[in-house]
């Protein structure tokens, strides 16, 4: 029986070779040109005892049709009702143009634009992206992306330690109300360089950093202060005061900002007297599906004074030999392929295709569109808070303004309530008990412009049923 399968497989080796275009004649003539009898001979420098047998842990190949059927079944298994989970990944409407154009082969299958003359499309697009992100944040410069919001923050911490001329400290002070996974990612990445991260706890009443807590850290010599806007609970910290305090303490201010919020909220360059020094965050809200967490795009902005400490690729506008305008990678002396061990980061591959999508998204929306979407998200959130208050006597855990996400306080464990909501095909939010045991009865719920009035009512109904189901 085994022999039969092997014989079939052997026949298939020559008659069925997906994505390998060689005919038997091609192979024979190429081997002849090389002067060897068979392909096997080309591997004769590999010690024979190292040659592997067949890959028995990999199944036999299947057709595209069969593969797509399998993937459709698996994907359908994961399609579940309606989601109100945000916590760092937000479902917004994605205009059809975005991926129609971004998926063009000339964007999709191009390499990193090292050969500038043959990559003007990608290079100009990134320059436009850099312009949009710097205008949105008010900063002077943006890079061409890093992996995601969490890794962008880690890079910002490393950059902050390098860029702070007033302090040699290798300690970072970080708001305790940033995304917990961001904090974990940063610890993984920066601690190898003997950089320490301290956190400031959030206020029990507001969920924001209270001045009494942050002032305890006065005169302790940190390289930078990290604040999140909105914070992980969806609330708005007093970023102006925090920025001024950080600068007064000779710290740089690193802002982690949901860029969608900047459609209506204050640009980080305008926080306090002098503005933020480094602005990073998750670009996913700009035309990128939530898609299990990636690929997304980490954005990074700063001012020109410290641009040489920025990691990642940066595009500059220049002239060609005939004086025509063109675009090219610049300041490459920061990067690993030139500076090796002295580079600002080891990053090479970034999130280019997602930058393409985000740039198209921002072009379509413009200022008015972004303000409109951000306002709709905010208003939808307020409407849901109101419905929960009126119909269920359920209230936000913290007082103070929110953008498009809120921590609801429940009369039972959030994990149980969320499970009972999921049974009704409503994913009600993120269990804040996973973030902090003090919030085991809280869920973090997000509303975007994609949620209709009827969706909000469905949320309230599902929550009502769930509360009954858990005995409340």
Partner 1 sequence: MLIFDHSSKGRGATAQFGPPMEPASDLPAEHLRSSPAGLPEVSELQVVRHFTNLSRRNFSIDTQFYPLGSCTMKYNPRGAHRAASQPGFLNRHPLAPEAQSQGFLACLWELQEYLKDVTGMKAVSLTPMAGAQGEFAGVAMIRAYHQRNGDDGRTEILIPDAAHGTNPATAVMCGFKVREVPVTREGDVDINALRAAVGPQTAGLMMTNPSTCGVFERRIQEIAGVVHEAGGLLYYDGANLNAILGQVKPGDMGFDVLHMNLHKTFATPHGGGGPGSGPVGVGQRLIDFLPTPVVGREPGPRFRWLDEQDIPHTIGRLSAFMGNAGILLRAYAYARLLGRDGMYRVGRYATLNANYMARQLEKKGFTLAYPDRRATHEFIITLAKENRELGVSAMDFAKRLLDYGFHAPTTYFPLLIPECLLIEPTETECREEIDRFIEAMGAILEEARTDPDLVRGSPYTMPVKRLDDVKAARDLDLALIDPRPAP
Among 5, 43, 389, 453, binds partner 1 (CB under 8 A): 43
Q: Looking only at residues 272 through 291 of this chain, which bind partner 1 when binding is defined by CB under 8 A?
A: 282, 289-291
Taking the least distance from each CB to partner 1, the nearer of 277 and 282 is: 282
Instruction: Please name which of 298, 340, 336, 364 lies closest in space to residue 149, comparing C-alpha atoms.
Output: 298
235 CB neighbour count, 10 Å cutoff: 26
Instruction: Please name which of 202, 211, 164, 165 lies closest in space to residue 183, comparing C-alpha atoms.
Output: 202
| 317 sits near partner 1 (criterion: CB under 8 A) | yes
Please choose, out of 21-29, 199-207, 211-219, 388-396, the segment that lies near partner 1 by the rule CB under 8 A: 21-29
Across the strands, what pairs with 409?
395, 442
| 37 sits near partner 1 (criterion: CB under 8 A) | no
Among 4, 15, 24, 75, binds partner 1 (CB under 8 A): 75
Among 15, 24, 212, 292, binds partner 1 (CB under 8 A): 292
Please choose, out of 144-152, 207-215, 390-398, 453-461, the segment that lies near partner 1 by the rule CB under 8 A: 144-152
Taking the least distance from each CB to partner 1, the nearer of 265 and 394 is: 265
The Cα 252–Cα 435 span in angstroms is: 27
Q: Looking only at residues 147 through 206 of this chain, which bind partner 1 when binding is defined by CB under 8 A?
A: 147-151, 179, 181-182, 184-185, 187-189, 192-194
How many residues belong to the site for partner 1 (CB under 8 A)?
A: 201
Among 5, 7, 26, 438, binds partner 1 (CB under 8 A): 26
Burial of 463 (0-12, 13-18, 19+ CB in 10 A): buried
Helix axes 453-469, 352-387, angle to 10 degrees: 70
The residue behind tokens 């609801």 is: 408
**Preceding amide of 295 cis, omega within 30:** yes
Residue 63 CA: distances (Å) to CA of 16, 53, 60, 75, 386 = 11, 24, 10, 18, 52
Contacts of 154 (CB under 8 A, 6+ apart): 185, 186, 188, 189, 190
Residue 209 CA: distances (Å) to CA of 49, 232, 253 = 62, 12, 15
| 211 sits near partner 1 (criterion: CB under 8 A) | no
The Cα 259–Cα 285 span in angstroms is: 8
| 263 sits near partner 1 (criterion: CB under 8 A) | yes
Please choose, out of 169-177, 204-212, 342-350, 454-462, the segment that lies near partner 1 by the rule CB under 8 A: 342-350
| 7 sits near partner 1 (criterion: CB under 8 A) | no
| 2 sits near partner 1 (criterion: CB under 8 A) | no
Contact string (CB under 8 A) for partner 1, positions 84-123, x = contact: -x-xxx-x-x-x-x--xxxxxxxxxxxxxx-xxxxxxxx-
Q: Looking only at residues 296 through 315 of this chain, which bind partner 1 when binding is defined by CB under 8 A?
A: 296, 304, 307, 313-315
Among 5, 7, 70, 305, binds partner 1 (CB under 8 A): 70
């Amino acid at each position: 029986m085994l022999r039969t399968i092997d014989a079939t497989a052997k026949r298939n080796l020559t008659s069925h070779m997906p994505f390998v275009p060689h005919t038997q004649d091609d192979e024979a003539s190429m081997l002849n040109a090389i002067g060897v009898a068979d392909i096997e001979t080309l591997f004769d420098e590999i010690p024979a005892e190292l040659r592997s047998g067949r890959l028995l842990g990999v199944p036999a190949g299947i057709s595209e049709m069969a593969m797509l059927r399998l993937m459709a079944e698996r994907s359908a298994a994961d399609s579940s009702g309606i989601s109100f989970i945000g916590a760092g990944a937000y479902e917004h409407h994605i205009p059809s143009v975005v991926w129609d154009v971004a998926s063009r082969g000339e964007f999709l299958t191009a390499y990193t634009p090292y050969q500038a003359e043959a990559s003007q499309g990608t290079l100009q697009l990134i320059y436009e992206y850099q312009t949009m992100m710097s205008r949105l944040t008010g900063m002077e410069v943006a890079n061409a992306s890093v992996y995601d919001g969490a890794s962008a923050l880690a890079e910002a911490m490393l950059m902050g330690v390098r860029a702070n001329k007033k302090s040699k400290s290798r300690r970072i002070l970080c708001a305790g109300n940033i995304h917990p996974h961001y904090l974990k990612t940063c610890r993984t990445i920066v601690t190898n360089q003997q950089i320490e991260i301290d956190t400031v706890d959030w206020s029990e009443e507001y969920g924001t950093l209270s001045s009494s807590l942050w002032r305890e850290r006065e005169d302790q010599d940190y390289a930078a202060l990290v604040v999140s806007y909105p914070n992980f609970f969806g609330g708005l910290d007093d970023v102006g005061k925090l920025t001024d305090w950080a600068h007064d303490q000779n710290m740089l201010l690193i802002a982690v900002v949901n860029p969608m919020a900047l459609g209506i909220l204050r640009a980080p360059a305008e926080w306090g007297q002098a503005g933020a020094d480094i602005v990073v965050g998750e670009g996913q809200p700009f035309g990128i599906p939530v898609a299990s967490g990636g690929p997304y795009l980490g954005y990074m902005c700063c001012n020109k004074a410290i641009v040489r400490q920025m990691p990642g690729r940066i595009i500059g506008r220049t002239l060609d030999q005939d004086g025509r305008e063109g675009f090219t990678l610049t300041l490459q002396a920061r990067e690993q392929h030139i500076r090796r061990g002295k580079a600002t980061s080891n990053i090479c591959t970034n999130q280019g295709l997602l930058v393409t999508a985000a740039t198209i998204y921002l072009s379509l929306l413009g200022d008015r569109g972004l303000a409109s979407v951000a306002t709709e998200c905010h208003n939808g959130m307020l409407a849901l808070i109101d419905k929960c208050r009126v119909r269920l006597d359920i209230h936000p855990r913290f007082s103070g303004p929110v953008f498009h996400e809120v921590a609801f306080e429940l009369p039972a464990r959030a994990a149980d309530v969320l499970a009972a909501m999921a049974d009704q095909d409503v994913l009600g939010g993120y269990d804040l008990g996973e973030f902090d045991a003090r919030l085991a009865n809280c869920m973090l719920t997000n509303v975007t412009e994609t949620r209709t009035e009827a969706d909000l009512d469905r949320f309230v109904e599902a929550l009502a049923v769930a509360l009954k189901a858990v005995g409340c």
